Amino acid sequence: MSSTAKSVACTRAEPNTPGPRAGFSLLEMMVALAVAGILFSVALPGYQHAVVKVARAAARAALLEVTARQEQYFINNKVYAPDLGSLGLPAAYFIDKQGDTVGEQRASYRISLELVEGRYSGVRAVPLNRQAVDSACMTFSLSRLGVRAVSGTFSGNPLECW
C-alpha cells in the first residue's frame, strides 16, 4: 500500500463526501432530547410526591418527640409545659423535610402546642411553604390522649397520613 493511500485512509471524510462521519445529526439529537423530556416528565411527579411524604414523616416524628418531652415534663413537674421553650425547644419551632430546626423561610412545618384555656391539649404541625400544597394530609395533630388527626383530603381517615 502506498503512503498516499495510507494517509487518505486515516483522515476524516470531507463533509460532502460519502462515508462514516463523526458526531450526531440534528435529528438524532432531537430524538434523544425528546426521550429525555418524556422520562423527566414521568419521573418528576413521582419525585415530588416522595419529597412530600418525607416531609410528612418528619412532621410526625416531631409531634411524637414533643409529646414525649411533654410527658417527661409532666412526670417531673406534675403539670404539662405551657410552651415549647419549657421543653427545651425553640419558641418558634420550624422544621424542614429532614426534621431539622430551621428558619420559617426554609421550613416544611411549624410545630406548636395546642392549648385550651391555657392548658395543654396536644401538639400540631402546620404545613408551610412548598409543603402547603399537600392537600391530602395538611395539618397533623396529636392530642395528649394519643388521638391522631389530620386536615385535608384524608381528614376522615387520618391513618392514611399517619
In tens digits, what is the pLDDT along the chain, a chain of 162 residues? 555 555 445 555 556 666 666 777 888 889 999 999 998 888 888 888 888 888 989 999 999 999 999 999 999 999 999 999 999 999 999 999 988 899 989 999 999 999 888 888 999 999 998 888 888 888 899 998 889 988 877 878 787 788
Whole-number Å distance between alpha carbons of 104 and 110 = 8
With beta carbons less than 8 A apart as the criterion, state whether 128 and 107 touch. Answer: yes
Q: Which amino acid is at 60?
A: R
All cell numbers assigned to 79: 403539670
Burial 52-89 (b: 16+ CB within 10 A, else e): beebbebbbebbebbbebbeebeeeeeebbeebebbeb
Contact by Cβ (8 Å): 57, 136: no
Q: Is the dihedral of CA 121, 104, 46, 57 positive or negative?
A: negative
